[in-house]
A and B are shown apart, each in its own frame.
Chain A
Amino acid sequence: MHAYRCSALVVVAAALTIATGPAFAQDEKREIEKYQKMIAEGSPVELFELEGEGLWKKKQGPKNASLEQCDLGLGAGVVKGAFVNLPRYFKDTDRVEDLESRLLTCMMTLQGRSREEATKRTFGNADKPSEMEYLVAFVAGESRGSPIAISTAHPKESAAYELGRKLFFYRSGAWDFSCASCHGEEGKRIRMQELPVLSLPAGARPAYSTWPAYRVSNSQMKSMQWRLNDCYRQMRFPEPGFASDATIALTMFLGVTANDEPYRGPGTKR
C-alpha cells in the first residue's frame, strides 16, 4: 500500500494530541484531525471487545477453564473498572503486573497453560490475530469512562514507576535514542505524525487513555505491550521481552503520568 515502509524514529501513534509544529499548515492539521475523528467514528473496535469477551469465557488449556475467575486486582472475576488500576502489585505473584502480564498469569494458573504456549502469539498480524490482543480489548473496554487511577503506594509499585522513568529517558542503542528522543519536546512530529510528550500529563493523558487501540494501518487490535515493543524496534534497540519487568515499569511510568484521565479506549489510531 505505501511507497515507503515505515520509517525511522519512534512513534506512539498518539491520540489526538494537541500540538502544533510551527511549519504545520493549519488546514492540513485540520484535515488530519478530521480524518482521525472520522476513523474513530467508523472504527470496528467493538468487534474486538466482543471477540475478547468470547475468549475470556472460553474454556481452554489443560485445566479446561475459562479466564472468568481471573483476579485483575479487584477480586476474582471482576473485570469492570480493573484496567484503570493496572499496572498494580499482586500479592500472589509478588510482582507488579500490567494487564498483559496479569492475563498471562491467569492463563498459566487458571487454565494450566505453559508460558511458552500462552505467549506464542502475543502480537497479531494480518494473517493471524492474537488472543492476547483481543482479551486486552475486552478488559480495557470494561473500564471505559473510569478515571485512570494507578497507585504507587506499594514499594514495588513506586520502584516500578522509578524504573520506568529512568528507562524512558535512557539513551542507548545504535542511534543514541531514548523514548524522549521523540516524545520529549512539545509540538514535534515524525513525518506527519504528531508526537506527544509522554513524560508529562498533557501528553500522556490523551495517549495512554486510548490504548490498547485498533490500528488502521494494519487493521489490527494492538496492545500497549505491542506499542512499546514497536517503539523499541524503531529505536534500534534489541527486543524487549513480552511482559518483562522493564516493559511493565515503562507502562507504569506512562500510566501514572496519565492518572485522573477518564479512560476512553480501546482507541483507534492511524
Chain B
Amino acid sequence: MNKRNLLTLALATAAIAACATSPVDPRPAYSESDLRQMDAVHRRDFHPRGIAKMDRFDLDRVQRACNQYKDNPPEDLAKALQAEQIGAIKFPQGELLGDWKKGQKIAQSGRGMTWSDKPGSANGGSCYNCHQLSPEEASYGTLGPSLKGFGKLRGNTSEIQKYTYGKIYNSKAYSVCSPMPRMGYSGTLTEEQIKDVVAYLLDPASPVNR
C-alpha cells in the first residue's frame, strides 16, 4: 500500500468516525496486495471444520473480480467472466421441470454447506431466506426480489425453464457479481433438486403461481 492510499484510508476512517449523518462507502476496492492479505489472514486465523475446508478460501476468477471492482467489474471483464460462467452450467438432457412439491421443501430448507451440516445430508436451497415465493408463506426474506407469481408472469416456455434452471445453477452467468449463491456450481443443489425448484417457480399448480 502506498502513502497516498494510506492517507485516503485514514481520511475515510476519520470521516466515518466523525460523521454519522453522511457516511462514506467504507467498502474497499481490493488491490492485489489487499487480496494477498485477505488470503493470508483467512488461512492464518480460520481452520477447517466439518465439511468446510480451507479450499473455500480459494478465490475463483469471479470472486476475485467482484472483490477488486466492488461488484462492478469493467464491461469486457464482466462479459468474459459471464461467458465462462454460462459455460460452466451443466444443463440436463430433456425435461427441466421436476416436482414442485419437492421444490417447495427445498425452497424452505436452509440446510447445507455449513460446518455443522453432516456430509451426505440433503441440502436445501435457502430460497425463502431471501425471496418471497408462495404468498402463503409469510416468513420470507427480502435480500432478493420477490418471486411471487414467477411462472404466471413469465410463462412456462422451454426458454424460461432453461433460464430459470441456469439462474439457480449459476447466478453469476447472468449477472457476474450477483449476490445470490451459485446453487448448482457450488455443489449445494443436485440437478434433480434444481429441477424441482424450477417446477416450484414455474408449474401453474405451484402455490407460487396460485
Contacts and interface: CB of A to CB of B under 8 A. Distances in A.
- The answer to whether any beta carbons of A and B sit under 8 Å apart in the complex is yes
B45 interface: yes
Interface string A167-206: 1111111111100111011011111110100011110000
Interface string A231-258: 0111011111100111100000000110
A8 interface: yes
B110 A6 contact: yes
Interface string A148-172: 0000100000100111011111111
A7 interface: yes
B16 A239 contact: no
Contact of A175 (B30, B138, B186): B186
A1 interface: no
Contacts of A24: 142
A7 B181 contact: no
A173 to B, nearest CB: 5
B132 A9 contact: no
Given A9-B130, A241-B45, A191 B141 contact: yes
Contact of A241 (B9, B46, B53): B46
B10 to A, nearest CB: 8
A9 B127 CA distance: 10
A28 interface: yes
Contact of B110 (A5, A173, A256): A5
B13 interface: yes
Contact of B38 (A166, A181, A187): A166
A259 interface: yes
Interface in B29-54: 30, 34, 37-38, 41-42, 44-49, 52-54
Size category, A interface: 35 or more
Interface stretch (B61-69, B87-95, B160-168, B201-209): B61-69
B17 A259 contact: yes
A40 B148 CA distance: 34
B129 A171 contact: no
A187 B142 contact: yes
A23 B54 contact: no
A239 B52 CA distance: 8
A7 B126 contact: yes
B54 A190 contact: no
A171 B67 contact: yes
A190 B127 CA distance: 10
A206 to B, nearest CB: 12
Contacts of A68: none
Contact of A191 (B10, B128, B188): B128
A246 B44 CA distance: 9
A226 B128 CA distance: 25
A162 B110 contact: no
Interface centre among B20, B59, B108, B111 (most CB of A within 10 A): B20
7 contacts: A9-B110, A172-B63, A175-B181, A233-B115, A236-B56, A244-B45, A246-B41
Interface of A: 4-9, 21-24, 28, 152, 158, 161-163, 165-177, 180-182, 184-185, 187-193, 195, 199-202, 232-234, 236-241, 244-247, 256-257, 259-260
